[in-house]
Homo-oligomer: A and B are copies of this chain.
């Protein structure tokens, strides 16, 4: 079971590491962190380096593709080598997945045309430009394509995928293995639940992150993590 996780500069680390932590526990899993070339990439604010063990040229197929998000997705929407690679891996994959704004790259690669899809709440309308149907759910399944909402949702997505691949008991055991019995301190984790003031605060934080990550950031549409 080959699992390719595509990483790039200014990714959101948890988008990639949440699914990694679940999927690496699948029996026979071989997880490969893949990028344009080998070597480290840095997260949005530059505070963390994650290593690409494989260049795109070295990975020509995978059973599962995971595309995480982050402000670093924005330039990749027009990066043909990235989109070509995503299309090539998708052509042979059993499952093609994204977390957060990783779905913008699936969309730019033409994989979401006419399909329901999700992404980070602050970027949801951006999916329309790719012919996708923005859908405010935590995990959206459309055949073999599974998109997950913002950042932390990749854990839920990967557990659901695990159940499809290895069965409910395996998924339950992995959920226990990572002690995933979440106790979020507040009930403000989705835009639908959070008060307007908290949405504004969160959007302000995302805008500051985007500005810090990019000296010439896009306005609000580009602010999703």
Binding site for B on A (CB under 8 A): 12-14, 17-18, 20-21, 24-25, 29-33, 40, 43, 45, 47-51, 53, 100, 120-121, 138-139, 149-153, 155-156, 159-160, 163, 168-186, 188-191, 193-194, 197-199, 201-202, 204-206, 209, 225
Contact = CB atoms under 8 A, between A and B. Distances in A.
Given A25-B209, A177-B202, A225-B177, A160 B189 contact: no
Looking at chain A's contact residues, the main secondary structure is: mixed
Counting chain B CB atoms within 10 Å of each CB, the highest count among A17, A31, A174 belongs to: A17
B185 A159 contact: yes
Contacts of A201: 169-170, 172-173
Nearest to A100: B179
Counting chain B CB atoms within 10 Å of each CB, the highest count among A184, A190, A199 belongs to: A184
A179 B120 contact: yes
Contact of A152 (B182, B189, B190): B182
Copies of this chain held together in the complex: 2
Given A25-B205, A180-B184, 5 more contacts: A171-B186, A172-B201, A174-B202, A176-B202, A182-B189
A149 B45 CA distance: 27
B209 A188 contact: no
A207 to B, nearest CB: 11
A68 to B, nearest CB: 11
Contact of A182 (B43, B184, B204, B206): B184
A75 to B, nearest CB: 21
Contacts of A14: 17-18, 20-21, 178
